[in-house]
A and B are shown apart, each in its own frame.
Chain A
Amino acid sequence: NAGVMQNPRHLVRRRGQEARLRCSPMKGHSHVYWYRQLPEEGLKFMVYLQKENIIDESGMPKERFSAEFPKEGPSILRIQQVVRGDSAAYFCASSREEGRNSPLHFGNGTRLTVT
């Protein structure tokens, strides 16, 4: 039973390029969450999505960042015109339902480096 799959594991982009991070939730999970982990900091919530809907994007920067979770295919976190400050580990998590007894299952993350 595959867990949450994220790719790529490592991504290097030059300033100004676009970064696309993919996340396939666990089988049977329809809720996806994106978190960002900066060095020496904890995980910061970015966005919560269900299929074809953004439920909570209160942690997303107002510009350059977007997320989607289409009916078919993985969830995508897209960062346009990357800057050095975007360098971080980005983690995707999924859950089976939004209920309180459903823990989040995390992927191994995508480590973005902006040069």
Chain B
Amino acid sequence: AQSVAQPEDQVNVAEGNPLTVKCTYSVSGNPYLFWYVQYPNRGLQFLLKYITGDNLVKGSYGFEAEFNKSQTSFHLKKPSALVSDSALYFCAVRLILTGGGNKLTFGTGTQLKVEL
């Protein structure tokens, strides 16, 4: 069965410093990987995705993620964190099934806190 792990419940970063939010996955076959962000009392917003091609994917709000097949990881990164980046971040994986379907399996989320 496919699964996603986010090993850190919370990540604290000072504003202006680089940030990394970790994600590892387990699937059989080629993974399709996503990052979403959730602000308080809101739904999830799509940040970026990896389908194929370059291992470094750029997304919204200056975020990027690096796909590493050998380490089965898809860590989210940003060179310089902002206080407004503070939110809950979810990694997700979709396995391509016969017949399609866009069902995502989500990690448990990582709370990012950026402080002045």
Which residues of A are interface residues toward B (Cβ below 8 A)?
4, 6, 31, 33, 35, 40-45, 48, 55-56, 91, 93, 95, 98-109
What per-residue 1/0 map shows which CB atoms of B79-112 lie under 8 Å from chain A? Answer: 0000000000010001010001111111111000
Quick one: closest A residue to B97, CB to CB?
A56
Judge whether B45 is part of the interface by a CB distance below 8 angstroms.
Answer: yes
Count of residues in B whose CB is under 8 Å from the partner chain: 24
What are the residues of chain B within 8 A of A44 when measuring CB–CB? 106
Q: Which A residues are in CB contact (< 8 Å) with B49? A: 101, 103
Name the distance in Å between B17's Cβ and chain A's nearest Cβ: 26
* A41 CB contact (under 8 Å) in B42, B105, B108: B108
Chain A residues with CB under 8 A of B104: 33, 43, 45, 104
CB closest chain-A residue, reference B34:
A103
Instruction: Establish whether residues B102 and A42, one from each chain, have CB atoms under 8 Å apart when the complex forms.
Output: no
Contact A43 B103 (CB under 8 A): no
Q: Contact between A56 and B43 (Cβ–Cβ < 8 Å)?
A: no
* Distance (whole angstroms) from the CB of B51 to the closest CB of chain A: 6
**B56 touches A (CB below 8 Å):** no
